Amino acid sequence: LISVNLMAQQTGVNYDEKEVPNYKLPELLVSKNGRKIKNAKRWEKIRRPELLKLFEQEVYGKIPVDIEIDDVIIHEAAGEAFNGTAIRRQVELVFRKDDLALSANLLIYLPKDSDNVPVFVGLNFNGNHTVSDDPDIRLADSWVRDNPSLGIVHNQVTEQSRGVASDRWPIEEILEAGYGIATIYCGDIDPDRDNFQDGIHPFSYQLGQFRPGYDEWGTISAWAWGLTKAMDYLSTDADVDSSRVIVFGHSRLGKAALWAAALDQRFAMCISNNSGCMGAALSRRQFGETVGSITKAFPHWFCENLNKYASREENLPVDQHMLLALVAPRPLYVTSATEDLWADPKGEFLSAIEAGAVYQLYGTEGLPVNEMPAPDSPVAGSVGYHIRTGKHDITSYDWKQFIDFANQQFTPEQ
Ligand code: GTR
């Protein structure tokens, strides 16, 4: 708490519920020309496309070109993993345009001897080889932010970083529960730095263009695009049940997961873990991270248009409950953590509540509560939520809830 208060003093960040401004959310179920959206059909025909477009133009930036997978290189089709209980598949997705080439390396684990497997898919922060101690995972070779304590210097990983994120990836538990898991290093798609000459962005440039247009893709849109390409591959993989692919992500990668689920309705379910500002949290609350602070610290994440709303959240034509609503009617799970005030837990919860209005158009309940549940007490309808005790992170506790939620949603009712 002391450090949180200090931070608030130093930077003018608000962590006081009493200082949350009075705000009015933009109407989820009224169209641009004032029409009330009363059923799922109108939502799909009128309001959903309007909102998708607003998020494209004003927040994440539209993906300006269709880029298809040009080549699939199977480095390993069915390597033995986890003492023979699972198979490991390593697939390089290659994209080409003129003299440009980009490789996204997809690592997949599937329970051994099963078919039609539902799969969790999400990006990772520092390379596929960080998610497990498994010595056979190929090392990332794209740009990675330096981190000498992990042996990452000159923006290249070494063996030293193998398995460093394994706490966040309880792969054996996931496999035991009957799910597969697939991941790509986010930097394979677009390195997480304010540079538009690397990653996938140059594939969309006209001659003489050096950065995306003001309404074109930032890094989060690029990552979301990468997730849709993972989905392209997974839907060709005979061992995967492509009707049960769950897109998930933590923090900045949770923002990307939500945006991917909004853009691509092939994802059957979405999990947002501690995604915070410009993820699940309501921007108008201006609690913790704000549009001003995020666009200053991470100018490359969004389209340039978002800068107009720094300290002007009330002018945003959308708020983040609308992003969550774009996932409907597919199941959605949102998490917060008690010490993750920067991500505004209450704003994440309220946003999930508000999105329920669209789930109701489809005859499901959304979140079945009105009040924020106590820590470590998950609640779930077609929208699920928990606030975990602890800090900004994704833990085995979180994963256990995701698995329970997926089991619940994927089991046909008797
Ligand atoms: C923070 C950023 C958050 C969140 C987080 C993360 O620095 O302000 O929006 O994305 O990084 O990705 O861990």
Residue 11, pLDDT above cutoff 70:
no
> Which residues lie across from 337 on neighbouring strands?
388
Which pLDDT tens digit goes with each residue over 309-360?
Answer: 999 999 999 999 999 999 999 999 999 999 999 999 999 999 999 999 999 9
pTM score: 0.97
Residue 19, pLDDT above cutoff 80:
yes
Which pLDDT tens digit goes with each residue over 113-126?
Answer: 989 999 999 999 99
Instruction: Tell me the CA–centroid distance for residue 300 and ligand 1, in Å.
Output: 13
386 is catalytic: no
The pLDDT of residue 411 is 80
Single-letter amino acid, residue 92: E
Q: Residue 94: left if φ>0, alpha if ψ -120 to 50, beta else—which one?
A: beta
Is any ligand 1 atom within 6 A of the Cβ of residue 252?
yes
Instruction: Tell me the CA–centroid distance for residue 252 and ligand 1, in Å.
Output: 5
Residue 169, pLDDT above cutoff 50:
yes
Q: Say what percent of the chain tops pLDDT 90.
A: 95
Is any ligand 1 atom within 6 A of the Cβ of residue 295?
no
The DSSP result for 333-376, as a single string, is: EEEEETT-GGG-HHHHHHHHHHHHHHHHHTT--SSS-SSPPPTT
Q: Choose, from 251, 272, 275, 336, the residue flagged as catalytic.
A: 251
Please report which helix (H) or strand (E) contains residue 398, including its range: helix 396-410
Counting atoms of ligand 1 from 1, which one is nearest the CA of 274? 4
75 is catalytic: no
On whether ipTM exceeds 0.90, the answer is yes
Which pLDDT tens digit goes with each residue over 290-323?
Answer: 999 999 999 999 999 999 999 999 999 999 999 9
Is any ligand 1 atom within 6 A of the Cβ of residue 276?
yes
Confidence band of 22 (pLDDT split at 50, 70, 90): very high
The pLDDT of residue 12 is 83
Q: Do the Cβ atoms of 110 and 120 come closer than 8 Å?
A: no
